[in-house]
Amino acid sequence: MQNAVIIKTESLTKEYVLGAETIRALRGVDLEIRKNEYVAIMGPSGSGKSTLMNLLGCLDTPTAGQYWLNSTAVAGMVDDELAAIRNREIGFVFQTFNLLPRATALHNVELPLIYGGVAAKERREKARHVLGLVGLADRMEHRPAELSGGQRQRVAVARALVNDPAILLADEPTGNLDSQTGAEIMGLFEELHSTGQTIVIVTHEHDIAEHAHRRITLRDGLVETDILQRQTVRA
Amino acid sequence: MKPFEALRLAIAQIRSQKLKSFFSVVGVIIGVMFLIAVISIVEGMNRYMEDDFARTIYGLNTLTVTRSPSVQMDSDREQWRQWRRRPRLTLDDASAIRAGLQTPAMVAVESFNEGRLKSDRGVEVSGVWLTAASSDFFRIREMDVDRGRLFGPQEDAAGLPVVVLGSESAEKLFGALDPLGRTVRVNDIPFQVIGVLQPQGKLFFFSLDNRAIAPARSPMGRLTNPRAVVDNILVKAADPVMLQAARHEIESIMRARHRLRPDESNSFEIETKDESMAFWQTFSRILFIAFPALVGIALVVGGMVIMNIMLMSVVERTREIGMRLAVGARRRDILLQILVESAGLSFAGAAMGIALGLGMAKLVEALSPMPAAVGVHWLVIAAVMGIVVGVVAGVYPATRASRLDPVVALRAE
């Protein structure tokens, strides 16, 4: 039995107008990602992978085409609706972590719940729980400056997970880490995947993409290849 | 996001950059500080004028008949000359008023000069406030003796050389000795001391206790004015309505005595506490109008500083705002956050300004006889002004922040 479809796009198109020129960043991407898939989106710069990530992450809206996230049509949504979708369905992990420097790990992780209107006590419990999941149970009251790069990215992952999102969307998650720490983060992703998390990683590094079970390569705004690899890791 | 969360975020942000936050609200601090300080001082002056000054100079339900206005504002030379040509008030005028008044009232005369006292021990005190008065003067002025007695109507009518001393004069002249029954020379004329007044305190910096009061018909009369001439005629009624009635009667009595035709204006003044207060009220009204305008300018400048700081802060935090949008902040959450931060900053500045302003007012109170009084409503107004300045200053930066495109903001350096 196949898992439910989490992401489905149909002729997803994005155009930017730059002066007199129109840049067609995405020229019609058809994509289907199911629950608990572990996908790497690859491509050289200018291939449209960042644009695709922004659209999948509901940070941006397509010029044309359709996008269903958890069977909800997202393409025509207004700002506030998109914010709510991002809050509930998507967990972002950024290359530069993007943590609040003056806030504790716990507060950083709580942030999405604050915008989700979750009561303080419940927030605290959930944040503690996910910090435990990423192995930072003993670092909750530390500020980012007091944490190593790998620990910071773990905090960011915890923040991404705290709302129990439909997809974890990571943009070059190891780009600012040394290779060993990067491998640790990839190990963490592997663990999360094994517990049923759907993960989409955008990267240009083949090593990183190797960890994923499905590799989608973009070129010139279109899907060039879509390969399943190592489907048996879960066993 | 709940407003409470926005407040917590704002407080955390302000506290994390205390020095920068402080400098950004210096304008507001100064504006509010001067507002509170000046208002407390002016209100204190107001209360002082009403309670002490007007009471001391005029008294409750009392009117004063004088030759020329006691408080003269913007009077030109011609006006002056005209006042100088007016007839002087006399003891006979006072008698005529006393005899002619239908409204029950007390009538007294008073004349002033400055002079020197010399005790029988040889101690001399100069700069003494000399008063020649009729016996009802004490009742109208609500003065009483601490020791001895006041002079009565018979002593006044007979013009006996008896004197009532102010407490400070008595102290200086006789020290620990009992002054009663002793002789004091007023500008070389001997008087017998019959009483010492209760201490009256000070008016501004001027002591009310360095004085000597003797009957109007005694030699003191000549020390203060030409024979039979008096400076003021005092009339005290039981209440404001009676005082008003007395005022009309006195006006017609005096007009008749000065033989004025109906088309001629009064050649004397009738003043109550309100007349002298009119001068002060004009002054304080100008302060109350002009000063908030200055404070307004300070607050506008303060607001502009806050706006700039908030704009800088928004630029600095572009990535953070992008992240907040990415994790689910709505545009209005960002707007609210920046607005609350700006308002909180400005409110904190206003609170500091209030504290400093009250401190300044207390300092003035400590160094001068004027009380500092500031109504609670002014504190509320100042605090609200602080918040309003912050909100207004925050609108533009907050709008800019909330309109950021998350994709662009996340890419910002």
Q: What is the pLDDT of residue A235?
A: 37
DSSP secondary-structure letter at B52? I
CB B97 within 8 A of CB B134: no
pLDDT surpasses 80 at B199: yes
pLDDT (tens digit per residue) in B371-397: 777 778 888 988 998 999 999 999 999
Question: Taking Cα atoms as reference points, which of A184, A192, A186, A150 lies closest to residue A167?
Answer: A192
Q: A235: distance to nearest CA of chain B, Å?
A: 33
Question: Taking Cα atoms as reference points, which of B119, B200, B215 lies closest to residue B161?
Answer: B215
CB A127 within 8 A of CB A162: yes
Question: Last residue of some domain: B271, B306, B334?
Answer: B271
Within 8 A of A115 by CB-CB distance, chain B residues are: 1, 324, 327-330, 333
Closest CA in chain A for residue B413: A96
Q: What is the pLDDT of residue A233?
A: 45
Residue at A179 is within a domain: yes
Residue at A178 is within a domain: yes
Provide the number of structural domains found in chain B: 2
Q: What is the pLDDT of residue A234?
A: 44
- Inter-chain contact B323–A98, Cβ cutoff 8 Å? yes
The mean pLDDT of B405-410, rounded to a whole number, is 92
Residues B75 and B220 in one domain: yes
Distance CA B180, CA B69 (A): 38
Distance CA B337, CA B326 (A): 16
Residue at A53 is within a domain: yes
- Inter-chain contact B325–A83, Cβ cutoff 8 Å? yes
What is the domain-level CATH number for residue A141? 3.40.50.300
Distance CA B287, CA B293 (A): 10
Residue at A49 is within a domain: yes
Q: What is the pLDDT of residue B233?
A: 94
- Banded model confidence at residue B16, pLDDT cuts 50, 70, 90: confident
Provide the number of structural domains found in chain A: 1
Within 8 A of B332 by CB-CB distance, chain A residues are: 80
Q: What is the pLDDT of residue B276?
A: 67
pLDDT (tens digit per residue) in A154-180: 999 999 999 999 999 999 999 889 989
- Inter-chain contact B320–A59, Cβ cutoff 8 Å? no
Structural domain for B327, as ranges: 3-53+277-411
ipTM reported for the complex, 2 dp: 0.93
Structural domain for A115, as ranges: 37-58+86-228
Q: What is the pLDDT of residue B72?
A: 67
Q: B15: distance to nearest CA of chain A, Å?
A: 10
Interface of A with B (CB under 8 A): 54, 57, 59-60, 79-80, 83-84, 86-88, 92, 94, 96, 98, 100, 102-103, 111-112, 114-117, 159, 163
Residue at A130 is within a domain: yes
Amino acid at A70: N
**Interface test with chain B among A53, A54, A59, A124, by most B beta carbons within 10 Å:** A59
Per cent of chain A over pLDDT 70 is 97
pLDDT surpasses 90 at B46: no
Closest CA in chain B for residue A53: B407
pLDDT (tens digit per residue) in A49-107: 999 999 999 999 999 999 999 989 998 889 999 999 999 999 999 999 999 988 999 99
- Inter-chain contact A84–B328, Cβ cutoff 8 Å? yes
Residues B31 and B97 in one domain: no
